[in-house]
Amino acid sequence: MKAAVFREVNVPMEIEEIAVAKPGPREVLIRTMAAGICHSDMHFWNGSYPGRVPMVLGHESAGIVEQVGSDVHYVKPGDHVITCLSVFCGHCEQCVTGHLSLCQEPETNRSSDEQPRLSKNDEALSQFAQLGSFAEMMLVHEHALVKIREDMPMAQAALIGCGVTTGVGSVIHTANVETGATVAVIGCGGIGLSAINGAAIAGASRIIAVDMVASKLDLARKFGATDVVDASDGDAVAKVIEMTGGGVHYSFEAIGLKATAEQAFQMLRRGGTATVIGMIPPGQMVALHGVDFLAEKKIQGSMMGSNRFRVDMPRFVDFYLQGRLHLDDLISRRIALEDINEGMAALNTGEIARSVIMFD
């Protein structure tokens, strides 16, 4: 099969012919139909986060089941599925207490003494997030996917696999935003727009979008923002505090920068909660004023929107088909696998929401 192989940091990927193994007892082979290009892929490609190369990147995807292992009963060939990087074992402490997105059990991957899922000649290729969706096929653990209804378009379904679930989930699961609360979202890329959409679904009374790109602020209004703040023009924190008469109940950082994480905390009202969704590079420290803790202000992280994806994603599909989840506007353009490097480069412009690779 064809795959875009990541071999060296900041070096364009080439499309290579690689081999995919047959499904093991609890594995599923998926024909990839659509794969979104996410900033998380960029973080590994540019070396911000360490990864084991050679690797097939990609993790935001949807496809059709081709083959299943002997012990798989949840899906069958022909089923439409969304993949998720929150691969869960189902029996560790995190899983049995309902925190599936925090599962770290290694058993969902193949061991080093087993045949690798992906290879080229005698060389093993790793899968980003146990998925590797920048390829025509994916071989994954059965707990890395969810079955969805067949009338859901594949491009939109792929976005649910990461960005949408991360953004919406951070609002409704991690932060538990209640009806009538005030919300600010810093960063209006795919995840930030999904957080805005999630806040609207949750019934927030005021949703303030913060970004430096005018086109993204315009798009934020379509997703439910009631107000926008141009962070390139003055102090965004001061503007949010002034607009709300003291700060918001909930803030969400959707970029992954030290400065914006600090701003998310600073724009809270007393008793407010800041949730950092973005991937702040390893080694960077976030500085907060200790006196703010006396006002019971809180800051927390969110991993994939604290999801229970086997439950959440089918509901998000329904939300989209009901017109409540605005996935169409998240897709900036559809590209071919051969255009992967152009799609990755587009992430740096800040002008697009998502490029989606479409497979024939």
- In which band, very low, low, confident or very high, does the pLDDT at 360 lie, cut at 50, 70 and 90? confident
Q: Which of 258, 279, 301 is the last residue of a domain?
A: 301
Contact 349, 14 (CB under 8 A): no
> Is 80 exceeded by the pLDDT of residue 349?
no
pLDDT of res. 353: 65
Q: What percent of the chain has pLDDT above 90?
A: 89
Find the catalytic residue in 84, 103, 162, 188.
162
Does residue 207 contact residue 227 with C-beta atoms inside 8 Å? yes
**Is there a catalytic annotation at residue 43?**
yes
Give the Cα separation of 78 and 30 in Å (integer).
9
Percent of the chain with pLDDT strictly greater than 70: 99
Structure tokens at 245: 């008469």
Which of 301, 322, 340 is where one domain is finished? 301
Is residue 285 one of the residues assigned to a domain? yes
* Per-residue pLDDT reduced to its tens digit, 266-287: 999 999 999 999 999 888 999 9
Same domain? 154 vs 48:
yes
Between the two ends of the chain, the Cα-to-Cα distance in Å is 13
In a domain, 168, yes or no: no
Asked whether residue 351 carries a pLDDT value surpassing 80, the answer given is no
Whether the per-residue pLDDT at 319 is higher than 80: the answer is yes
Reported as a single tens digit per residue, the pLDDT across 65-116 is: 999 999 999 999 999 999 999 999 999 999 999 999 999 999 999 988 899 9
Asked about 326 being catalytic, the answer comes back as no
Q: Which domain holds residue 287?
A: 176-301
149/233 same-domain check: no
**Choice among 38, 84, 103, 188 that is catalytic:** 38
Among residues 39, 59, 141, 173, the one annotated as catalytic is: 59
Tokens of 18: 């690689």
Q: Tell me: do 216 and 276 sit in the same domain.
A: yes
Same domain? For 268 and 339 the reply is: no
**Side-chain half-sphere of 260: how many Cα atoms within 13 Å?**
25
Instruction: State residue 348's pLDDT score.
Output: 78
Residues 295 and 314 in one domain: no
Nearest alpha carbon to residue 185 among 161, 168, 173: 168
3-state secondary structure of 246: coil
Same domain, residue pair 16 and 158: yes
Distance CA 265, CA 287 (A): 10
Q: Note whether residue 74 is domain-resident.
A: yes
308 CB neighbour count, 10 Å cutoff? 17
- Per the structure, how many domains does the chain have? 2
Please report where in the chains the tokens 């600090």 appear, as a residue: 262
Q: Three-state SS for 6?
A: strand
Q: What is the DSSP string of 76-118?
A: -TT-EEEE-S----SSSHHHHTT-GGG---GGGS--TTSPPSE
Query: Within its chain, how far is the Cα of 196 from the centroid?
Result: 14
More confident residue, 360 or 344: 344
List the Cα angle 168/131/223 in 5-degree steps: 20
Structure tokens at 64: 């059709």
> Is residue 41 within 8 Å of residue 344, measured between CB atoms?
yes
Catalytic residue status for 40: yes
Q: What distance in Å separates the CA atoms of residue 15 and residue 31, rounded to the nearest whole number?
A: 17
**Selection from 115, 27, 118, 116 nearest residue 68 by Cα:** 27
- 115 within 8 A of 132, measured Cβ to Cβ: no
Residue 304 DSSP code: G
Assess if residue 171 is contained within a domain: no
113-152 pLDDT per residue, tens: 899 999 999 899 999 999 999 999 999 999 999 999 999 9
Domain boundary among 279, 301, 323: 301
CB 215 within 8 A of CB 244: no
What are the beta bridge partners of residue 62? 34, 82
Q: Look at residue 126 and tell me if it is in a domain.
A: yes
Mean pLDDT, the chain, whole residue set: 95
Instruction: Please pick, among 40, 86, 101, 251, the residue that the annotation labels catalytic.
Output: 40
Residues 236 and 338 in one domain: no
Give the position of tokens 């905390």.
265
The answer to whether residues 190 and 318 belong to one domain is no
Residue 156 CB coordination number (10 Å): 23
Assess whether 13 and 137 both reside in one domain: yes
User: For residue 112, how many other CB atoms are within 10 A of its CB?
Assistant: 7
Mean pLDDT of 247-258: 97
The arithmetic mean of pLDDT across residues 25-54, rounded, is: 92
Pairwise CA distance, residues 177 & 165, whole Å: 15
Whether 59 is a known active-site residue: answer: yes
- The answer on 316 and 346 residing in a single domain is yes
Check whether residue 153 and residue 180 sit in a common domain. Answer: no
Query: Does the active-site annotation cover 61?
Result: no
Domain with residue 258: its CATH number is: 3.40.50.720
Residue 133 lies in a domain: yes
pLDDT band at 7 (very low <50, low <70, confident <90, very high): very high
The CATH number for 19's domain is 3.90.180.10
Asked whether residue 340 carries a pLDDT value surpassing 80, the answer given is yes
Q: Do residue 291 and residue 324 come from a single domain?
A: no
**The pLDDT of residue 350:** 65
Torsion of CA 55, 56, 58, 64, to 10 degrees: -150
